[in-house]
Amino acid sequence: MTSVDTGAMTASPSLAAAGARMPHEGDPHERLWMAWPTADYMLDGSTVPRDDALTAWAAVAHAAVAFEPVTMIVHPEQERIARRMLSRDVEIWAAPIDDAWLRDSGPTFVHRDSGPAVVDWVFNAWGGLVLAGTAHDAAIARRVAAHAGVPVVPSALVAEGGGLHTDGDGTVLVTETVHLDPRRNPGWTREQVDAELRRTVGAERVVWLSRGLTRDYGPYGTRGHIDMVATFAAPGRVLLHAQRDPRHPDHAVTAQLRAELQAETDARGRAFEIVELPAPRTLQDSEGWVDYSYVNHALVNGAVIACAFDDPADAEAAAILAAAYPGREVVAVDARAIFALGGGIHCITQQQPARL
């Protein structure tokens, strides 16, 4: 099925965010959104072969569409090859985009008393990384909202979906190096960020971690996205990336993050139960220390779309994810090509919650 955005964006009404609540990613979904690789750096073969990148995106879409509808946003110039590589079960929506990290450039869906809405963060390409253009991606949240027929909650905060996680019960996880990044939000204080997250996604308590993984501060990095290091399996329970090999610099990083979480409580005053997701045993690739992470998975209706790395730890991580999300099937997808370009499976997907 294919639909086309001709370029004229029908404005969704903007509204205040009173009563907004961002649901947990494990709550029922209406569909999953993705964006097809478009940027030159993804397709020129300099980092990974072009076909490997496209195959990885298609594999994630095909894994997810077995459980819920998937809409792939495709730049019109890429529509022919996307249709060739994607099954007819995946809806293609032709619309102008710059990049393919839809978790970050796209909308954050929330529930309001009056129904669903989309938070439209300011997107400036992770604090100005020179990867691709931003003109189309800065508008994609509003385009998706119009396409989905839901109103927009505008925000002045520069933020990305991969930079925050919620338990659906009022607790939000963030990192200092993202939300207090002077290239993103110069002059903003913790208190101002807290207030904006309260207004937009219903955060009752914002838990601030100091940083992200080492590789995430490289040329293709986000400088500390939370979705590489920690996520909520359920209220009170955090899945934490654990680098067990002391040779990797993330060994010290993840020990620090664990200590920070142990000193915190959630919005209901509970101490966190921390479940470690071990890092793969692979330590380096051609670019240096890897940030391969099983934390960067996507939840869909009835399943977990998990990262795999052809690594001995893949099976252990799958078992931990199955226990963390009882009743869900764990579907592993080779994510190495996605990580080589700067992210993981969670980074290229964005869930649209089912209407209450």
Task: Point out the residues of the chain with pLDDT beneath 50.
Answer: 4, 6-12, 14, 16
CA atoms of 221 and 105, how far apart (whole Å): 14
* pLDDT score recorded for residue 1: 53
Contact of 86 with 74, CB cutoff 8 Å: no
Helix (H, G, I), strand (E, B) or coil at 17: coil
Q: How many domains does the chain have?
A: 1
Helix-, strand-, coil-residue percentages of the chain, each rounded to 5: 30, 25, 45
- Which conformational region is residue 236 in: left (phi greater than 0), alpha (psi within -120 to 50 degrees), or beta? left
User: What's the pLDDT at 220?
Assistant: 84
Which pLDDT score, from 0 to 100, does residue 18 have?
58
In sequence order, the β-bridge partners of residue 288 are 285
Q: What predicted TM-score, i.e. pTM, was given to this entire model? A: 0.95
Neighbour tally for 156: CB within 10 Å: 11
Residue 144's CATH number: 3.75.10.10
Q: How many angstroms separate the CA atoms of 234 and 137, rounded?
A: 31
Which residues are identified as catalytic? 347
Q: Where on the phi/psi map is residue 77: left (φ > 0), alpha (ψ -120 to 50), or beta?
A: alpha
- C-alpha span between 200 and 119 (Å, rounded): 7
| Structural domain span for residue 159 | 2-353
Single-letter code of the amino acid located at 153? V
Which 8-state DSSP code applies to residue 185? S
Looking at residue 270, its pLDDT comes to 97
CB 343, CB 317: distance < 8 Å: no
